[in-house]
């Protein structure tokens, strides 16, 4: 099943993604988009790796996520991928990569993203472009997925269920 998990920061998205993906038969894969650019991110990545344990084969890809898709995978996380695309000057490629990702989307995948648009409007143009772009990507992913889950305070709320 194709599942999109969205929610706020520290709402339990990644942990719940692992719970769902552990129901996939082995081998299970984890597509990590994060890069260890500072000490805080290195620590966060280490915590996530420890939480996954030996249950997943980790594939690291900060940019060309469509090229690394596989069955029985967790893709974590779309917001960091989008950040990477902007950081490396590849903003113009976002729509193309998303279109390819949707075309190649495996039957069994759990995708983690952050919910945007529930709070204030950012003051600077780059932040507004980022939020608008992530909102569009999330909408496209939600349309392509069988199930959409909103995490609130560690609780999964089904927004879209399989027909």
Domain 2-160, second-level architecture: 3-Layer(aba) Sandwich (3.40)
Looking at residue 102, its pLDDT comes to 98
Confidence label for 9 from pLDDT (cuts 50, 70 and 90): confident
| Tally of CB atoms within 10 A around 30 | 22
What pLDDT score does 45 carry?
85
Nearest C-alpha neighbor of 111 from the set 63, 154, 76, 152: 76
For residue 48, indicate whether it is catalytic: yes
Helical spans, DSSP H, in 11-88: 13-21, 39-52, 78-87
pLDDT of res. 118: 79
Q: What is the pLDDT of residue 79?
A: 96
Contact residues for 96 (Cβ-Cβ < 8 A; gap 6+) = none
Residue-averaged pLDDT of the chain: 94
> Tens digits of per-residue pLDDT, 100-131?
999 999 999 999 999 987 777 888 999 999 99
Instruction: pLDDT band for 43, please (50, 70, 90 cuts).
Output: very high
Structure confidence at residue 163 (pLDDT)? 79
Strand order in the sheet with 2-7: 56-60, 28-32, 73-76, 109-112, 2-7, 147-152, 155-160
**What's this model's pTM, rounded to 2 decimal places?**
0.94
Decide: 5 and 151 in contact? Cβ < 8 Å: yes
Residue 66 — very low, low, confident or very high, per pLDDT cuts 50/70/90? very high
Active-site residue identified among 13, 48, 52, 72: 48
Where along the chain do its domains lie? Answer: 2-160
């Amino acid at each position: 099943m194709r599942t999109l998990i969205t929610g706020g920061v520290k709402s339990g998205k990644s942990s719940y993604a692992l719970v769902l993906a552990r129901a996939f038969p082995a081998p299970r894969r984890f597509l990590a988009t994060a890069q260890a650019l500072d000490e805080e991110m290195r620590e966060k990545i280490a915590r996530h790796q420890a939480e996954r344990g030996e249950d997943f084969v980790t594939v690291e890809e900060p940019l060309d996520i469509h090229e690394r898709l596989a069955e029985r995978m967790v893709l974590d996380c779309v917001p960091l991928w989008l950040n990477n695309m902007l950081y490396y000057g590849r903003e113009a490629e976002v729509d193309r990569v998303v279109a390819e990702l949707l075309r190649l989307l495996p039957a069994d995948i759990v995708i983690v993203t952050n919910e945007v648009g529930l709070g204030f409007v950012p003051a600077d143009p780059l932040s507004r472009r980022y939020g608008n772009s992530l909102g569009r990507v999330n909408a496209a992913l939600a349309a392509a997925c069988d199930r959409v889950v909103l995490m609130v305070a560690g609780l999964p709320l089904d927004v879209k269920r399989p027909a």
